Amino acid sequence: MNGKRRYGNWLLTLGLAAIGIGYLLVFFLPAKAQLARRRAELKACKAEIDRTRPLSIAIFQKEEELEKTESFVTRWMQENDNDAASVLAKISQSVQESGVQIVRFDPQTTTSLQTIRQTPLQLGTLGNFAQMFHMLRQLEALPATVWIDRLAIQAPAKEGALLESETNVVIFAVNQSKSD
Predicted pLDDT at 86:
78
Q: What are the sequence ranges of the domains in the chain? A: 1-79, 84-174
Collect all residues with Cβ–Cβ distance below 8 Å to 106 and sequence separation of at least 6: 121, 122, 123
CATH code that applies to domain 84-174 = 3.30.70.60
Q: Are 122 and 155 in contact (CB under 8 A)?
A: no
Query: Which parts of the chain are beta strand (E)?
Result: 101-107, 111-112, 116-127, 145-154, 163-174
Give the number of other CB atoms < 10 A from CB of residue 35.
Answer: 10
pLDDT tens, 113-166? Answer: 887 888 899 999 999 989 999 999 998 888 777 888 899 999 888 887 888 999
**pLDDT value at 18 more than 70:** yes
**C-beta of residue 125 within 8 angstroms of C-beta of residue 141:** no
